[in-house]
Amino acid sequence: MKNFINAGRGLGILFLSLLFAFNIAGAQNRASYVGGDISLLPEYEKAGAQYKDENGRTIKDLIPWCAEQGMNSMRVRVFVNPELYQQKYGNSSNPDLKYDPNACQTIESVVPLCKRIVDAGMALMIDFHYSDTWADPAKQWTPIEWQGLTDAQLTDKIYDYTCSSLQLLKDNGITPSFIQTGNEISYGMLWGAPESGNPKKVYTNSTANWSRFAGFLHAAGKACREIFPDAKIVIHTERTAEPTVLSQYYQKIASRDIDYDIIGLSYYPYFHGSLSTLDNSLKALRRLNLPQQIMLVETGYSYKWAVPGTTHDFSSTWPYTEAGQQKFAQQLVELLIANEVTGLYWWWMEYNAYNTKLSGWYNAPLFDSTTGKVTAAFRTICSFSHAYGSLTDQRLPEVESGRWFDSLGRSVENPSTPGLYINSNGKKMMITE
């Protein structure tokens, strides 16, 4: 057994409500969200993928099962018109432009998935890419139908598209808790057409294109506030390997009075570096004293072999095994709690080629593609949902001092299986193996 967090003693009666806080790392009355990007789940389900628990039992419906295990939020990505992109670039010999069938989600197509998420009682995060294909630091191409528009027209288009997309969710009884206005927009977005040869990027050491970029974010944020005024707006970047650049970026965002609530970050150790690098970036952001909370909206680590394109090899620290993946997850959770980060989302957690012919380049999910079983890191990740709050929405009766409760609020006489436990004296413990 390993003491995960000692949250203090003398709680007396346990009031285990969803937003009750334990005064951990100086963070009070702070909710935490944990889950993953599961945008391809419908495709895996149609292909017959089998998801199983640790004991090899078939999981009938993955989303409510994840909620039962402690996950409380899921993320879904959205592209403008991937079909049009496929028609234009499907046969391209340029690997940077080639169509990827995994980037297939439109706002219309994700409505059923989003409905399942909110019906399971989870918080929904919508991730607008504002592109027909993957938008990331290397490519933020303007949707084909929007190419040729002036900056003013693009600003109007972003507003209209965001409004209509969110209205569609609203009309179907879906209320997102979080809305990303752009995906990994470290260098801006809507750069133009790939063939233009003059991508309209932003840099923290330059003023070029910043007014244009800020106009896009203002328009997107305005649409969010009008359709879902209570949803939290996320501005998502991935410069976690460069604490100074990251800080400068959000300072520039603040100087342009852009309305948003959450600093969203990507962190992949095999691309961005060690946990100490992430720690430095989080501390640098905290020193800015910005009012926004911080979430890690993308992360992951392999359980089998190196992710293609790996630039930092940490296999000696976290071997490419289930145990290695779990070790990374545990150290990540501890670091995020220490830095008062309020969200943790594992990217492509649903990737599962077991019993299907589906394949892809990614191999760092939370399910083993050779067995279909959930990996050991899953429950470690789930524990983050209780980082600052309690474990259940029920008020428990007064109990004998020293009693333990599991992540569902059930009394456990002698904790022994992996998971997160809370003692009636206020002590937290996580058993990892």
| Residue that is written with structure tokens 């990827």 in the block | 100
Percent of the chain with pLDDT over 90: 75
pLDDT at 406 over 70: no
DSSP 35-100: EEE-TTHHHHHHTT---B-TTSPBPS-HHHHHHHHT--EEEEEE-S-HHHHHHHHTT-S-TTT---
Is the pLDDT confidence value at 432 over 80? no
Tokens found for residue 424: 């009636």
From the CB of residue 177, how many other CB atoms can be counted at a distance below 10 Å? 17
- Residue 424 pLDDT: 62
Q: In this predicted model, what pLDDT tens digit does every residue of 280-313 receive, in sequence order?
A: 999 999 999 999 999 999 999 999 999 999 999 9
In this prediction, residue 209 carries a pLDDT of: 98
Q: Tell me what pLDDT residue 430 has.
A: 55
pLDDT at residue 12 in the model? 25
The number of residues making up the chain comes to 433
pLDDT surpassing 50 at residue 384? yes
User: CA-to-CA distance for 376 and 373, rounded, in angstroms?
Assistant: 9
Average pLDDT for residues 96-111, to the nearest whole number?
A: 94
Q: Does residue 416 surpass a pLDDT of 90?
A: no
Query: Does residue 303 contact residue 364 with C-beta atoms inside 8 Å?
Result: yes
165-179, 196-210, 353-367, 411-425: which has the minimum mean pLDDT?
411-425
- If you average pLDDT over residues 189-216, what whole number do you get? 96
Q: What percent of the chain has pLDDT over 70?
A: 84
Tokens of 204: 């923290």
**Nearest-angstrom CA–CA distance, 381 and 325:** 11
Res 300: pLDDT: 98
What is the 8-class DSSP label of residue 142?
P
Residue 366 phi/psi, 5-degree rounding, is -110, 20
- Most confident by average pLDDT, 300-309, 399-408, 415-424: 300-309
Determine the Cα–Cα distance for residues 314 and 317; give it in Å rounded to an integer: 5
Task: Give the pLDDT band (50/70/90) at residue 372.
Answer: very high
Mean pLDDT value across residues 97-108: 94
pLDDT classification of 398: cutoffs 50, 70, 90: very low
Q: Which of the 8 DSSP states describes residue 374? A: B
The pLDDT tens digits of the residues spanning 211-267 come to 999 999 999 999 999 999 999 999 999 999 999 999 999 999 999 999 999 999 999
Q: Is the CB of residue 197 less than 8 Å from the CB of residue 141?
A: no
